[in-house]
Amino acid sequence: MTSYMTPSAELRARVALEKHGFHNTHSLGQNFLLDEGLLSALLDAADIRPDDHVVEVGPGAGVMTALLASRCKQVSAYELDRGLEPVLRDVLGGVENVEVRFEDFMKADLRTAAGDGPWRVVANLPYYITADIITRLVTSPTPPESVAIMVQKEAAERVMASPGNKTWCALAALTQSYGTAEVLMDVPAEAFSPPPHVQSQFILIKKHAVPAVAPKDGRLYIKVVNAAFAMRRKTLANNLKAAFGLDQAAALAVLERAGVDARVRGEALSLPELARVSDALMERGA
């Protein structure tokens, strides 16, 4: 009797892409990862567990999706490009614990995405939407346990920046309010199809077991963080005036109540200081 091995996910993807004549769309930032060995190494480091429900943003040709399905309980993959539907059907055919949803993840209901229990995110997504995706995840009322995501190297540097650093920004502050970030692996451009013109890093952001800060009003805190970095050359007082409709005296009173220097700029503030400003605004009735 002759036995046949099931083709690897990488081989199925390459065959399906050619069979269906798929061409990457530059405007969608489609740079696929097809190397099964590399993807396996990334997932080894990504804190994926057998009982996890994983949300994948941008499955592309489905190689990582198939590998995720072999490692966890359930995969919900969000893909914007309907042109990939026949490719993903070929690659994931027979894989029962994967649901592919052809919709914009930025507009998706995260309560539906997450299901009933803890969830994690894995993504190799277009770099132009990196900040929006991370911000949405880390500020969600029901955030994932972790986010393992491919990003441009400069984006990784911003996510892990420190207060006072020139790359300290709203993205860094919101991310670090949610969890800790680390670089898992540098990924060379030639690993992608087609190769991007930037350096890439696969990073892991893990939710804090105990929150880094505990502002009294989470939504107000997010608004304060965004306001603090809205105009980097302006003082925090001026940014608060613009964001919350305060006059000069009211803005300075908020900073005094928060114990923050009246002349400080937003990018100089630490997470606890940003939380104190948020609480001071809440007490004022912002």
CA distances from 200 to 30, 58, 132, 153, 232 (A): 14, 16, 18, 5, 27
* Digit-coded pLDDT (tens) for 85-133: 999 999 999 899 999 999 999 999 887 776 777 899 999 988 899 999 9
Q: Which of 168, 183, 207 is the last residue of a domain?
A: 207
90 and 227 in a common domain: no
Cβ-based neighbours of 120, under 8 Å, separated by 6 or more:
47, 48, 52, 53, 54, 55, 144, 145, 146, 147, 148
Does 235 have pLDDT greater than 90?
yes
- Structural domain containing residue 268: 218-284
Does 3 have pLDDT greater than 80?
no
The one-letter amino acid at 268: A
Give the pLDDT of residue 244: 94
Quote the tokens at residue 100. Answer: 């592919």
242 and 181 in a common domain: no
* Digit-coded pLDDT (tens) for 46-65: 989 999 999 999 999 999 99
Q: Confidence class of residue 82 from pLDDT cuts 50, 70 and 90?
A: very high
194 and 223 in a common domain: no
Average pLDDT, the chain: 92
* Digit-coded pLDDT (tens) for 138-182: 999 889 999 999 999 999 999 999 988 889 999 999 999 999 999
230 and 166 in a common domain: no
Helix (H) or strand (E) holding 67: helix 63-69
253 and 202 in a common domain: no
Give the pLDDT of residue 286: 58
**CA pair distance 128, 43, nearest whole angstrom:** 23
Tokens 């809440």 map to which residue?
Answer: 282
223 and 82 in a common domain: no
Pairing status of strand 119-124 against strand 200-207: unpaired
213 within a domain of the structure (yes/no): no
Q: Confidence class of residue 6 from pLDDT cuts 50, 70 and 90?
A: low
**CA pair distance 15, 150, nearest whole angstrom:** 24
Contact status, residue 79 vs residue 91, Cβ threshold 8 Å: no
Mean pLDDT of 252-265: 94
Mean pLDDT of 221-235: 92
235 and 111 in a common domain: no
Mean pLDDT of 198-205: 96
Contact status, residue 266 vs residue 242, Cβ threshold 8 Å: no
Percent of the chain topping pLDDT 90: 82
155 and 43 in a common domain: yes
Q: How far apart are the first and last CA of the chain?
A: 76
Does 5 have pLDDT greater than 70?
no
- Three-class SS state of 149: strand
Residue positions counted in the chain:
286
Residue 231's domain is classified under what CATH number? Answer: 1.10.8.100
Quote the tokens at residue 53. Answer: 């429900």
Helix (H) or strand (E) holding 186: strand 179-187
- Three-class SS state of 152: strand
43 within a domain of the structure (yes/no): yes
Mean pLDDT of 247-274: 94
228 and 156 in a common domain: no
Entry pTM: 0.91
Q: Which of 188, 207, 226 is the last residue of a domain?
A: 207
Q: Which of 159, 180, 207 is the last residue of a domain?
A: 207
Contact status, residue 8 vs residue 91, Cβ threshold 8 Å: no
Least confident of 21-25, 115-119, 196-200, 217-221: 115-119
Tokens 């914009």 map to which residue?
Answer: 104
Give the pLDDT of residue 2: 36
Q: Indicate if the alpha-carbon torsion angle 211, 183, 200, 148 is positive or negative.
A: negative
Residue 129's domain is classified under what CATH number? Answer: 3.40.50.150
Give the pLDDT of residue 118: 86
